[in-house]
Amino acid sequence: MNARKIHAVTGAFGYSGKYIAKRLLEKEHEVITLTNTIPNIDIFNGKVKKYPLDFNDFDGLCKSLENIDVLYNTYWVRFNYKTFSHQQAVDNSIKLFNACVKAGVRKIVHTSITNPSENSHLSYFKGKAILERELKNLSIPYTILRPAVLFGKEDILINNIAWMLRKFPLFGVFGDGEYKLQPISVDDLALLAIDNGATDESKTIDAIGPETFSYNQLVEMLMSELKIKRKIIHVSPKFGCFAGNILGKFLNDVVITKDEIDGLMSNLLYTESSPAGTTKLSEWVKSHSNTLGLKYANELKRRR
C-alpha cells in the first residue's frame, strides 16, 4: 500500500485548481496547494495548507512535494506580458516536474491544451507541446488533460463574451465565425483529473465537453439564453485585436491577444475526440443566465 496520501494542487485559490481541491477534499484526501495567491477569504477554512510556488527555490519546491502522492498541475500563464511569458512558464514547469521526480511524487496530472504542437508559431500551443514531451520523458506516470475552453462561475472567456453582449449594441465576430470550440465544465475537468490521479496509467485525454459550437453558434446561444438581441458584425482578426486593445486600455486588462484569436480561428480549440465531460454549456448558461456576464472578469487583476 502507498504510504503517500497527500495530494498537491497548484493554484487552489485560482480557477480549475479550486475545483480540483474541492473535489479532493470531498473524497477526504489531505490536500496542499502550491500558489503565490494570498486569498482574501480562505474558501477551504484552513483545510488546504499553502506553500509558495517559488520556481527560484528548487529545494523548497522539493520539500513542499515530500510525501505527495499526486501533483495536479494547472500552472501556466495565459499570454505573454511584461512580467510573464509562455517561455518562462515552460522553464518553470520543467523545474516543477523535476522537483516531483526528486521528491518521489507517484503521479502527475497535468493540464495542457487541445492541439499542442512543437511546430506551432503560437507560443501557447508550442510551449504546451514542449511540456507534454518533457512530462512523457520523466520516470513517473502522468495523465495529460487537454481542455479546449473551460466554463464555470469564475470563467473569463465565456463570461466576458456575455459581458460584452450585455454592454454593447454591436458584437464583433472575428472572420466568418465558423471555426469551432468544445467547452468543458471546470468541475467535469476536476473530476477527470481526480479519476486519473488514482491510476498508475499514463495517458493523454482531449478534455472536451459534450457540445461543439461554432463561434457564431456560441454567440447566438448566449444571446438566446441571456434574452439579448444584438447586431453581429463580422470583423477582421486585425480589427478585432485592435478593438480588444482599446477596450483593454479602459478595463486595465488584456481582453484578447492576436495569438488567442489566431488559435481560435485556426480551429485549435476543436478536436475529433469523443467528449470527456458531460455538462452541457448551453444548460449551464441557462441555469446561470441571471449572473453570467454581469461583471467583467479581469485577468490582470487576478494576477495582482
Interacting residues with ligand NAP (CB under 6 A): 10-11, 14-17, 35-37, 53, 74-77, 84, 111, 113, 147, 149-150, 157, 303
CB nearer ligand NAP, residue 74 or residue 171: 74
Least gap, CB of 162 to ligand NAP (angstroms): 14
How far is the CA of 115 from the CAs of 135, 212, 267, 273, 285, in angstroms? 16, 16, 9, 11, 26
SS3 (DSSP) at 174: strand
Q: Residue type at 219?
A: V
CB nearer ligand NAP, residue 76 or residue 171: 76
CB nearer ligand NAP, residue 230 or residue 275: 275
Least gap, CB of 61 to ligand NAP (angstroms): 13
Residue 56 CA to residue 77 CA, distance in Å, equals 17
Residue 252 CA to residue 282 CA, distance in Å, equals 30
CB nearer ligand NAP, residue 17 or residue 244: 17
Burial pattern 98-125, b for ≥16 Cβ within 10 A else e, equals ebbeebebebbbbbbbbbbeeebebbbb
Cell numbers linked to 241: 485585436
Least gap, CB of 81 to ligand NAP (angstroms): 7
Least gap, CB of 2 to ligand NAP (angstroms): 25
DSSP per residue over 121-166, as a string? Answer: SSHHHHHHHHHHHHHHTSSS-EEEEEESEEESTT-SHHHHHHHHHH
Least gap, CB of 76 to ligand NAP (angstroms): 3
CB nearer ligand NAP, residue 17 or residue 293: 17
